[in-house]
Structure 1
Amino acid sequence: MTELRVARVLIDSPLPQLDRLFDYAIPDHLLPDARPGVRVRVPLRSAGRMVDGYLVELAEAQESPRPLSELDAVVSPVVVLTPGLYALARRAADRAAGSAGDILRLAIPKRMVRAEKAWLGAAPPEPPSVTAHALEWADRSLGGFNGLAGALDGRERIAVDAPPRPSRIAPDTEVGAWAELLAAAALRELAAGRSSVLVVPDYRDQAQLEAVLDARGASPSVVRVDARQSGPERYSAFLRTLSPVACIVVGNRSSVYAPAHDLGLIALWDDGDPLLSEPLSPGVHARDAALVRQELDGCALLFAGHTRTTDVERLVAVGWVREILPTRRETPRVVLSATREGEARSARLPSAAFASAREALASGPVLVQVSRPGYAPVLVCADCRRPARCRHCAGPLRARRAGAAPECGWCGRAATAWRCPHCESERVRMASSGSERTADELGRAFPGVRIIVADGEHPVTQVDGRPALVVATRGAEPHAIGGYRAVILLDGDRMLLAEDLRIGESCLRWWSNAAALAAPGAPVHLVGVTGGVARALATWTQPAYARAELAERAPLRMPPTVRVATVEGLPRAVDAALAAVQSAPGGLAPTYGPDATGGSVLGPVAVPTEGGPALARALVRFDYSQGRAVAESLRASVIAEALRSRKAVKGRPAGPRNTLKVRVDVPDLDL
């Protein structure tokens, strides 16, 4: 029998033409440590240097006319690339027309030698233990949904609407009821000896989950994974997930790849949050990665939120995800507030909302949600109403405080002698109110009341139950002990004016998350908004709104009813990629050509550039059944362009710089 002496290595490189396995011979002195999954260093002949990589698998030596290069070194004996993680990275990358190495760069932290040595020398983690009291609480929490526990045990894909209310887990700690739901599901899996991966958008959601799990005695089994950790902390957490002991991983979007032992559950909270969309190549959304992983691992998959994204609703409609309803429907008391007869239409706070806030302040805090931070984020010319721009960099001018000179939002220069280039006016006016200006206005309207500003510059995670006006930007709302006695949602009409295909469901998500912070029975005032999105909030029928959105987008072939890819690069390369994808077997069907409604290819159009070669960009729309063929064709075009533009080798002149970029599953048709 031939001895296994060939290592198949995935090179850690951003070059698309290197996204495959390379064969290397294993020298005798490396045979004991050359195991699948370890980090290795190998020579790359085409570059004439050593590069890092992962040993994916061992193969039998074959006769070859050309001798194989040898492994240079095994960097570490720790197996960091498990077979399941490689399969997930390969499938997710192929689906997104990207490289598996790019996925692994997100999933596997950089090696930290001291952390690795400490982990190798430490005792193995203790087996998890869940008390009978905690397990009883978990069963009771999941009992609020019809058949949810059975669906989780059956490894199903599930979508639930989380209870829209706060929950107090300690005298000084308030969390959302959704955190208890996800923690309960994870505790049941932990009691059965299985791991869970709980994916949330940001650190505030993560803190809520950790607080609930700590209160139920599960903190020793919780593994935190997020970008706020130091390098050694993150690498130590990753090594913990490699242990053959069940754990609960709580983290942001990259935690969906955590190689937890015997995975029983993946849960995503609020999948419509843009923080769950990966900006780095190949741009795989955490929701899509979770769907791929569920199919590979056969675990349960839970989508939870206060709203339903159109992406999840499409999966429910086709039967790929099952919707589970609560046994008792809970809805906040939403009031659609508009200006009454005799009131100025420019008034930000109608009399009904003002009276409700004044009454609520007698017993506790009131939340006021605004669209933007700062004092006056937008300034315009007082005479012609054109946006006020910096004369140095053309950036938008903003007012930091009342009476102060405007400042540029880009370069920070003060516009002390500003003059409108269109009408020569020297006066500006405020076109919008930020969180700080709103706080000033409410401070004058409610003298003697405590004012708290919560936004990106003033992060606040929780406020006490004393009377206060909490002015927060969307997504930055802190929890209040006992819940807010009233919630006022301002600037809704301005939010809906954004040029975004998904602005309706985004606004509904922002408002619903804020409404879920209200105490039971407390009024939630949506100011100045009417139409379908307002009705969905008032009746708390977010899934119905998502279904209506899907029905409107289907005839127009807009995502997520179809998949969309962007192709950007030199016009020649873009044209070649589009021609290839339209002629690929199993690719774009003829019925989706230029004569069909909307067409399958939009563009190409010119992309504005500052210097350098002219670029073009196009959109490719395709059905889900065509996904594999389209992704393979686009990936082949990226590799072909990369090979065309590689640097000079042995005197051959270099081609033009590679600029062909492909991203699959862009959420919006934005050229």
Structure 2
Amino acid sequence: MSRRIARVLLDSPLPQLDRLFDYALPEELGDVPIGVRVRVPLRTAGRMIDAYVVEVAEEDDAERPLSTVEAVVSTAAVMPERLYRLARRTADRAAGSASDILRLVIPKRQVRVEKAWKGDAESPSVTADAIERADAVLAEYTDLDELLEAGERGAVEAIPGIRDGVLRWTEMLAAAATRMLASGRSTILVVPDHRDLDRLLATLDSLLPAEAIVRYDSRQTNPDRYRGFLRTLEDAPCVVVGNRSAVYAPVKAGLVAIWDDGDPLLGEQLAPYVHARDAALLRQEQEGSALLLAGHTRTTDAERLVARGWMKDILATRRVLPKVVLSTPQEMEQSTQRVHSSAFASARKATEHGPVLVQVSRPGFSPSLVCAECRAPARCEPCGGPLGARHRGAVPVCGWCGRSARAWTCPSCSSTKLRLASSGSERTADELGRAFPGVRVIIADGAHPVETVSDKPALVVATRGAEPVADDGYRAVVLLDGSRMLQAPDLRVGESCLRWWSNAAALAAPGAPIHLVGVDGPVGRALATWNQAGYARSELAERAPLHMPPATRVALVEGMPASVDRALAALSELPLPSDAILGPVPIETDEGRVRALVRFEYAAGTTVATTLRAAVVAEAVKRRRGRGQSNRSPLSLRLDILDPEL
């Protein structure tokens, strides 16, 4: 006799449970759709666990012992087949669990919202005026129309600037979404943070009806988030706008677009740590939708795809080049001077007509202090963190533990005097306020968020990424602390600085001067010539001989020495170069554990990920059987690690 069975994916973080399990379906449950939540027993743990139905089938062997599905939690099919295939493909590439991916995209169930959901939304209409405006914006880019229609991939160099109070990059993404919606297809727009999200939503609201826009944001309440997720399950097209997890939205997407893919906020902080760009590339390959990676700069990851012919290079039909003025360190009158005389004069003249943006590297008054005698960095005695001053004459405070250092003594020269070594946003505003009497000074940083400023004369001192938008653009932009930003211990520090400066320069009014103070070299020239793609190409060429990402992929293997040795031994059987494995070496901050790096080509990605994942599962099974008594996993794995970790 035959019987019905359900193949389910358990909602569990345990790696050994990351596969499909068969359960018998009792007749009293009736029809069980694919993608619904169910409750099933987990015999090895002696408890009930949530799961998603992946497949329902008939089995001839009715004598095979199977546990039975306990209950159907909800009739809403929250995991359609396309979402499962994307989660499975993404997890396999990152050597992770599919349930961890689904946990990012499927919100917690809200019973009231689900009962009120009808699932019969009508296709939203797009006005002829909105289509005409969208076509005009898309015509400003070469081959963008054809790329959207053909479902191809493109790296877009966004036009900088503001038009009629609207950022031009939001116009471009909104126009692409309008074109897709008019043709009956959905769009996913992914942005790094809530500031970009709000700006993009404001532009979309001027083109599309409210019912066509679905917000996908962690700041939403649980009911609103679940309500938006249920809307993405419907056949009616929509425009999904959100942060990194929105890339998995289960719509039938005709376009997936990511803004500023170099922003670290687009890198997932939870296992398996998949970057939104990588998930979008996998989705496009799987579904055949159009894909856009847009920004004012070009990441080396996107440039690698362009160089291989896998993505098209989309430029403006008529390029708009900001007016960038460089002042090199050699041109500064004094070594301690922060603002070049030409930048100072330009800012003074510009404040007569409107706001001026001054970008600094750090918030606060003076984030770091040094000994007044020997110039040694002032450190907190208990934790070793840097000491800083919150305002002039304040008691030094540790930036790590927050302790006050009232009786600080230099360990090198025994001096008790401190000196301000750096200028944060508040100290810069204090100094410029005295140099520009009568001009309003506005501070914009994490502690003082400012979204927009008017066209009235003002000095806006902002940290990188916190710059507010001026209604008609800034009359001048001054970029300070560039040399300090370039000293960060990061392999991509030049790429990051170019992104920060380019995004700030894009806020300038047409023809407004942009002064980069105290910086020369390739990064400064790339900004001055507005050739960010050329800088990405040069960076990629320098990384290739060193086998550094993104020229190659890198996996991080951590754990107990015996577990790491077994994982690396499994890799030794693969056809990898002799220098592919670096380490293992002890982890200074985690006694008893070691770390190793594995470098491999993209073509070997599937084999390496499968081998390492098998090692993680094997160690987890051994630990489950009692061979490992530690609460921590004996082996952890992460693919495509971030450059600061590398």
The interval holding the TM-score normalised by the smaller chain is over 0.9
Structure-2 residue corresponding to 1:451: 441
Residue identity matched to 2:29:
L
Unaligned runs of 5+ in 2: none
1:489-541: per-residue Cα shift (whole Å, max 9, x none)?
Answer: 00000000111110010000000000000000000000000000100000000
Q: 1:614/1:654 Cα in 2 relative to 1: closer, same or farther (>3 Å)? A: closer
Letter in 1 for 2:203: V
Which SS does the other structure have where 2:539 is aligned? helix
Query: Counterparts of 1:235 and 1:669 in 2: how far apart (Å)?
Result: 35
Q: Which moved more, 1:147-156 or 1:246-255?
A: 147-156
Q: How far is 1:380 from its partner?
A: 1.6
Give the alignment partner of residue 624 of structure 1, picking from 602, 606, 626: 602
Are positions 1:79 and 2:54 aligned together? Answer: no
Which residue of 151, 171, 187 corresponds with 1:196? 187
Q: Are 1:646 and 1:655, in contact at CA under 8 Å, matched by a contact in 2?
A: no
Please give the secondary structure, in 2, of the residue aligned with 1:637. helix
> Conserved in 2, the CA contact under 8 Å of 1:335 and 1:525?
yes
Partner of 2:120: 124
Tell me if 1:565 matches 2:555: yes
**Residue pair 1:379, 1:396 contacting (<8 A) in 2 also:** yes
Alignment-derived partner of residue 640 in structure 1: 618
8 Å contact kept, 2:489–2:644: no
Aligned residues between the structures: 646
Alignment-derived partner of residue 596 in structure 1: none
Question: 1:463 and 1:45, CA in 2 relative to 1: closer, same or farther beyond 3 A?
Answer: same
Deviation for aligned residue 1:218: 3.1
Query: How far apart, CA to CA, are the structure 2 residues paired with 1:653 and 1:538?
Result: 57
Letter in 2 for 1:381: C
Runs of 4+ in 1 over 4 A off after TM superposition: 339-342, 652-657
The letter for the 1-side match of 2:33 is R
Query: Residue type matched to 2:596 in 1?
Result: A
- Give 1:2-41 correspondences, 5 Å limit: 2=2, 5-32=4-31, 34-41=32-39
- List runs of 5+ in structure 1 lacking aligned partners: 169-173, 594-598
Deviation by residue 1:409-451 (Cα, 9 ceiling, x = unmatched): 2232221111122321101112211111111011111111101
Offset, 1:217: 3.3
1:538 maps to 2:516? no
SS of 2:545's partner is coil
Distance 1:433 1:656, change over 3 A: closer
Tell me by how many angstroms 1:342 deviates. 8.1
- Structure 1 Cα separation of the partners of residues 642 and 628 of structure 2: 39
Deviation at 1:78, TM superposition (A): 0.3
Point out the more displaced range, 423-432 or 298-307.
423-432
CA contact (8 A) 1:210 1:219 kept: no
2:231 to 237, 240, 243: 240
Are 1:159 and 1:323, in contact at CA under 8 Å, matched by a contact in 2? yes
The aligned counterpart of 1:211 is 202
Q: Counterpart in 2 of 1:278?
A: 268
The Cα of 1:384 is off from its aligned counterpart by 2.4
| Alignment pair present for 1:603 and 2:578 | no
Any idea what the Cα deviations from partners look like across 1:427-477, whole Å, max 9, x if unmatched?
111221111111101111111110111111111111011000000000110
1:164-563 residue pairs with structure 2 within 5 A?
164-168=160-164, 174-260=165-251, 262-338=252-328, 343-563=333-553
Distance 1:531 1:418 in 2: 39
Q: Is this contact kept in 2: 1:405–1:414, CA < 8 A? A: yes
Q: Following the alignment from structure 2 to structure 1, what is the Cα–Cα distance between the partners of residues 412 and 63?
A: 74
Maintained 8 Å contact 1:483/1:519: yes
SS at match of 2:101: helix
Alpha carbons 1:609, 1:615 under 8 Å: kept: no
Give CA-to-partner distance per residue, 1:214-273, whole Å, 9 cap, x none.
11133320000011111111111100111111000000000000011x311000100000
Alignment of 1:579-594 (within 5 A): 579-584=569-574, 588-589=575-576, 592-593=577-578
Higher mean displacement: 408-417 or 437-446: 408-417
| Residue 486 of structure 1: how far off its partner (Å) | 0.2
Question: 2:147 aligns to what?
Answer: 151
Q: Which amino acid aligns with 2:636?
A: K
Between 48-57 and 109-118, report the one with greater CA deviation: 109-118
Distance (whole Å) between structure 1 residues aligned to residue 120 and residue 352 of structure 2: 54
Matches of 1:359 and 1:482, distance apart in 2:
17
Q: Distance in 2 between matches of 1:92 and 1:667?
A: 17
Supply the distance in 1 between the matched residues of 2:237 and 2:55 (Cα, whole angstroms): 26
User: SS where residue 469 of structure 1 aligns?
Assistant: strand
Question: In 2, distance between residues paired with 1:642 and 1:354?
Answer: 61
1:666 to 638, 641, 646: 641
Change (3 A) 1:363 1:645: same
Per mean C-alpha deviation after superposition, the further-off stretch among 425-434 and 187-196 is 425-434
Q: 1:181 to 1:251 in 2, by over 3 A?
A: same
The 1:341/1:56 distance shift into structure 2, 3 A limit, reads closer
The answer to whether the Cα contact below 8 Å between 2:185 and 2:238 also exists between their aligned partners in 1 is yes
Greater shift in the superposed pair: 622-631 or 382-391: 382-391
SS at match of 2:52: strand
1:346 maps to amino acid:
T
Q: Give the distance between the partners of 2:622 and 2:502, measured in 1 at CA.
A: 50
Amino acid at match of 1:73: A
Between the aligned partners of 1:431 and 1:619, the Cα distance in structure 2 is: 37
Q: 1:162 aligns with which of 146, 158, 162?
A: 158
Larger mean Cα displacement after TM superposition, 81-90 or 600-609: 600-609
- The CA distance in 2 between the partners of 1:146 and 1:389, in whole Å, is 54
The residue aligned with 2:98 is 100
- TM-score, L = length of structure 2: 0.98
Distance in structure 1 (CA, Å) of the matches to 2:640 and 2:423 = 35
Q: TM-score, normalised by structure 1?
A: 0.94
Whole-angstrom distance in 2 between the partners of 1:553 and 1:426: 45
- Report the Cα distance in structure 1 between the residues aligned to 2:304 and 2:632, rounded to whole angstroms: 40
Report if the CA contact (8 A) 2:361-2:481 is conserved: yes
Q: Give the residue type in structure 2 aligned to 1:606.
A: P
Tell me how far apart the structure 2 counterparts of residues 283 and 342 of structure 1 sit (CA, whole Å). 43
Q: What is the aligned-residue identity percentage?
A: 63
Is the CA contact (8 Å cut-off) linking 2:560 and 2:594 kept in structure 1? yes
Of the candidates 38, 41, 44, which is equivalent to residue 43 of structure 1? Answer: 41
Aligned mates of 2:628, 2:396 — CA distance in 1: 52
Amino acid at match of 1:542: Q
RMSD of aligned residue pairs (Cα, Å): 1.6
Q: Supply the distance in 1 between the matched residues of 2:242 and 2:331 (Cα, whole angstroms).
A: 50
Counterpart CA distance in 1 for 2:12 and 2:466 is 37
Secondary structure, counterpart of 2:113 in structure 1: helix
Aligned residue type for 1:215: S
Is 2:473–2:509's contact at 8 Å kept on the other side of the alignment?
Answer: yes
Asked if the contact 1:339/1:351 (under 8 Å) is kept, the reply is no
- Measured after TM superposition, the shift of residue 395 of structure 1 is 2.4
Q: Does 652-661 or 619-628 show the bigger shift?
A: 652-661
Aligned to 1:549, the other structure's residue is in SS state: helix
